[in-house]
Amino acid sequence: MKKVLITGAKGFFASRFIEFYKRQYNIIALAHNDLDITDKKRTIEVIKGINPDYLVHAAAISDTGLCERNPELSLNVNVKGSINIAKACYETRTKMIFLSSDQVYNGNKDSGPYDEISIPISNNVYGKHKLEAEKNILELLDDAVILRLTWLYGLPERNKKVSSNILWNIIKTCMKNEAIKLPANEYRGITYVNDLISNFQNFFKLPGGVYNAGSENNLSTYEIGEIVFRELGLEHRVKDLLIRDIENYKEHKRDLRISNGNLREHNIYFDETKRSIAKCIKEYSFQVL
């Protein structure tokens, strides 16, 4: 059985990854309290001791607002911590998979969808630091796989973190009978976390490089909201509970869409957004009958 080490083990993504692959791989799960990745010496020591075949680096400061407020923390964890991991992987000859973000494109002025040839320009701390980490990792490890992920969504599970995501945010506001405002001038990918996870066995076989990874769509965030309401069986509540926000990004549309050209070349595919939203809601039996 191949040995897979995963960092950020208690996070939204990693906790679900571990559950999904626990019988297929020998998983060594390291949470923040097991290993602080900003401690270079210990990070290298621990990873050398484990000597994994693959390392999925999911630990991060993933809250973009927190990165903006505390850029030093973001630099230490998202850049320097990731470099520490890459240095350890260099010593153990471990294949590293790094979870980057579509936020590396959020300062691009041309319209998406962006492919991996597009030059990413980021205008926030989180995106800039992800980009800096990507560059440093690839300088050290030419077989590292960099996945530029879109906004992940999924539903709560027992004893697992659920991050803010469009599907769960809509369900929560419906439960409170409150309205949710979604921007009509924002275009971005969203990916069902389990679709991403189930593709990992293919990601492990990829040659080193940068890959956009997630469901593609040409929908505005408001239109995605309409789909969610419909799939939940709450179409009749759209007029009361879903507000079309036309103010945000009205001067310049926010366009973070990606295209997965590189993954397709390796026969790795994601369902398109509408289909994966329907699948997620069905898998968790969340339709209102």
Ligand X SMILES: NC(=O)c1ccc[n+]([C@@H]2O[C@H](COP(=O)([O-])OP(=O)(O)OC[C@H]3O[C@@H](n4cnc5c(N)ncnc54)[C@H](OP(=O)(O)O)[C@@H]3O)[C@@H](O)[C@H]2O)c1
What's the chain look like in SS3?
Answer: CCEEEEECCCCHHHHHHHHHHCCCCEEEEECCCCCCCCCHHHHHHHHHHHCCCEEEECCCCCCHHHHHHCHHHHHHHHHHHHHHHHHHHHHHCCEEEEEEEHHHHCCCCCCCCECCCCCCCCCCHHHHHHHHHHHHHHHHCCCCEEEEECEEECCCCCCCCCCCCHHHHHHHHHHCCCCEEEECCEECCEEEHHHHHHCHHHHCCCCCEEEEECCCCCCEHHHHHHHHHHHHCCHHHHHHHEEEECCCCCCCCEECCECCHHHHHCCCCCCCHHHHHHHHHHHCCCCCC
241 or 277, CB closer to ligand X?
A: 277
Q: Which is nearer to ligand X, 61 or 89 (CB)?
A: 61
Query: Could you say whether residue 67 binds ligand X (CB under 6 A)?
Result: no
Segment interacting with ligand X, rule: CB under 6 A, options 149-157, 168-176, 231-239, 253-261: 149-157
Q: Is 151 in the site for ligand X (CB under 6 A)?
A: yes
| 270 touches ligand X (CB under 6 A) | no
Q: Which of 2, 32, 87, 254 binds ligand X (CB under 6 A)?
A: 32
| Closer residue to ligand X, CB minimum distance, 92 or 191 | 191
Euclidean distance between CA atoms 166 and 3, whole angstroms = 33
Given candidates 60, 196, 206, 219, which one binds ligand X under the rule CB under 6 A? 60
**Nearest residue to 104 via CA among 83, 75, 134:** 134
Could you tell me the smallest distance in angstroms from the CB atom of residue 139 to ligand X?
19
Regarding 186 and contact with ligand X (CB under 6 A), the answer is no
Q: Using the rule CB under 6 A, which residue among 26, 36, 204, 253 binds ligand X?
A: 36
| # chain residues binding ligand X, by CB under 6 A | 26
Q: Verify binding: residue 77, ligand X, rule CB under 6 A.
A: yes
CB of 211 to ligand X, least distance (A): 13
Segment near ligand X (CB under 6 A); pick from 36-44, 109-117, 205-213, 231-239? 36-44
Choose one: 9-17, 224-232, 239-247, 257-265; the region binding ligand X (CB under 6 A). 9-17
CB nearer to ligand X: pick between 124 and 234? 124
Q: Encoding tokens for residue 285?
A: 């039996």
Q: Which residue is nearest to ligand X (CB)?
A: 11
Applying CB under 6 A, which of residues 13, 21, 114, 211 lies at the interface with ligand X? 13
Residues 6+ apart with CB under 8 A from 36: 42, 43
User: Which amino acid appears at position 200 of this protein?
Assistant: F
CA–CA dist 128, 79 (Å, integer): 9
Least separation in angstroms between residue 235's CB and ligand X is 26
Only one of the segments 5-13, 18-26, 134-142, 167-175 lies at the binding site for ligand X (rule: CB under 6 A); that segment is 5-13
Residues found near ligand X in the complex (CB under 6 A): 7-8, 10-14, 32, 35-38, 58-62, 77, 81, 99, 101, 149, 151-152, 161, 163
